[in-house]
Amino acid sequence: MKITAIKIIVASPGRNFVTVKVMTDQGLYGIGDATVNGREKAVVAYLEDHLVPCLIGRDPMRSEDIWQYLYKGAYWRRGPITMAAIAGIDMALWDIKAKAANMPLYQLLGGRSRDKVMVYKHVGGLDIGQVVEGVAALRDQGLDAIRAQVSIPGLPPIYGTGPSTDQSAGGMIQALPNEEVWATHKYLPLVPKLFEKIRDVVGWDVHLLHDVHHRLTPIEAARLGKDLEPFRLFWLEDAIPAELQEGFRIIRQHTTQPLAVGEVFNTVWDCQQLISEQLIDYIRVTSVHAGGVTGLKKIFDFAAIYHVRSACHGPMDVSPVAMGCNIHVDVAIPNFGIQEFSGYTEATHEMFPAAWSYDRGYLQPGEQPGHGVDIDEAVAARYPYEPAYLPVARLEDGTLTSW
């Protein structure tokens, strides 16, 4: 079998997606996701100008060798653009491989290690009462795990804390970066009050999560972790900027609160210290940003040695293709923890017909050969690329901070 052509499809059915379609001389083709939100065209150029010409005529079954070739063959390795481009190719190759074997992808990864994949969804609100109502409503829908965020009183709603963070409705993305305002000293005493109220309403059977969005220093995160311990959160996510891995030592020294991080990581080297020193409990890399199925498995297999569990990043800009690959990996690995799932627009589902399914807080990969997700190019043509950016945040004095 030989690769004969590779097509790059960019469309925006709610969010911009970069989809890779690898075709072969035996009629089989595979689909991959290569999206980097807000930098989509950079990945397109990397693919079209640097990767596609190197792959025509190669054997798509040699997915590991091709992964190594694309990774090691570039002197300038790693980074989100490179690894998303590799991810798009890699997912498509695994799709072809599993189709050729006439079995769902998870079977090629060792078969099922569990019967279903637990997810968490998001609730945001302008005040604590609004968030509590939202959490209770999701609990009534069968969710066993829920992430809760609240706006800071007196400040405009910041990313992830508005009245609705259900991304299936679209929105939240601006044509230019929206500049928001953040105040740590107002946030730190607010969050424990939020989770005290949530526990009073929903009890202790539901898993509760919280995302800090990298906005604290290590000692501030340590204080928050200690203050949240009485409410037994499933995790505290992205407590500090993740580039300085050793910063998590300070948090670990002061709190038993489980910690999660990793959605901005692209290779095992980006999280090697965090995992090997057991400074985190959940690693949140996702297939599209960590080099596809091959890269994701390398990270999760390494994490398993150190009792660190998986928690694939799964917002709306992780396309249904990457979500499908995540679910196949989730169901197969022994150290699965949880899967983020924020939903998709109807147009996105129409563009990406998928075998995977969601029901009352759990996902199933489906039994279709391959990873089970395709692309309807006619639908994609109706949704051209639109410039879009995530927001940025500034302190009240104007200093730029993490979002």
Taking alpha carbons only, the member of 391, 366, 401, 400 closest to residue 177 is 391
159 is catalytic: yes
Tokens describing residue 254: 């002061």
213 is catalytic: yes
Catalytic choice (122, 207, 210, 213) = 213
- Give Cα separations from 132 to 93, 156, 203, 231 (angstroms): 44, 19, 12, 14
Catalytic choice (159, 282, 344, 383) = 159
Taking alpha carbons only, the member of 137, 63, 134 closest to residue 99 is 63
Which of the residues are catalytic?
159, 213
